[in-house]
Structure 1
């Protein structure tokens, strides 16, 4: 079984009771909302990753105001030709504040739209699980920085 580690950094940006989200596509191609952020490049600091990714996906420049925590997930699945993959996703979640720029949509990237959503309506959106995990970290600020689902 092939092993794969992906390290990524994401930002929770809340302003005036609204959460900044970016829209991508799920495995079936249906639109789904996620936090702005993404994969860390080799040699890149995770804080630099989140600054770069938020700008790429939303047009905003942010200031990182805190480290909320780390979400670690392992998932096993089959790829084409029946090859198994043992995928480990390590997702670093920061709190961020908009420091400049203007909202715009990403062109030619992994997302196609960025928008603010009222916090009270996020649960009704088609979204990735990371959104709920990150909002839990933002709300609860666990001293270990571990998401509630991690044992």
Structure 2
């Protein structure tokens, strides 16, 4: 089994009761809403990663106003016909950000297809990745340890 570590940085940006999200296409499935952010490039500081990714995916420039926490997840991805299964470990740094400039726009040729503000109370009804819920809990609860216990899925 191959091992893969992916470190990424994401932003929770809330303004006027709305959360900034990006929508990611899913091959053969419904698009999912995600936090703006993504993988670090080699040698890049995560602080710079989150600022770069938010601008790429939404058009906005942000000021990072705090580190909300870190989420770590591990899962086994199946191998293909010519590849072995992968033990994937994702480490995701979740920052809080504030818009300082730019204009809302969709990403072109990237991992997302749409950027939009979503009312906080509508987020539970969206098709979204689990990290959105984890990040919102970090934002709301602001745990001293920078981590929230994940709820069992049922």
Length-normalised TM-score, structure 1: 0.96
> d(CA) in 2 for partners of 1:10 and 1:145?
14
Please give the residue correspondences for 1:104-115 in structure 2 after superposition, counting only pairs within 5 Å.
Answer: 104-115=105-116
Which residue matches 2:124? Answer: 123
Which residue matches 2:73? Answer: 73
Q: Is the strand fraction higher in 1 or 2?
A: 1
Which residue matches 2:101? Answer: 100
Q: What's the CA shift string for 1:20-48, capped at 9, x where partnerless?
A: 00000235342110000000000000000
Tell me how far 1:112 sits from its aligned partner: 0.6
Which residue matches 1:43? Answer: 43
Q: What's the CA shift string for 1:86-119, capped at 9, x where partnerless?
A: 0000000000000000000000000010000000
Indicate whether 1:145 and 2:133 are aligned.
Answer: no
Q: Name structure 2 gaps, 5 residues minimum.
A: none
Q: Considering only aligned residues, what root-mean-square deviation do their CA atoms show, in Å?
A: 1.2
Please give the residue correspondences for 1:51-62 in structure 2 after superposition, counting only pairs within 5 Å.
Answer: 51-62=51-62
Residue pair 1:70, 1:147 contacting (<8 A) in 2 also: no
Which residue matches 1:132? Answer: 133
> d(CA) in 1 for partners of 2:98 and 2:109?
25
Which residue matches 1:9? Answer: 9
Q: Name structure 1 gaps, 5 residues minimum.
A: none
Length-normalised TM-score, structure 2: 0.94
> d(CA) in 2 for partners of 1:111 and 1:102?
16
Which residue matches 1:20? Answer: 20
Indicate whether 1:30 and 2:27 are aligned.
Answer: no
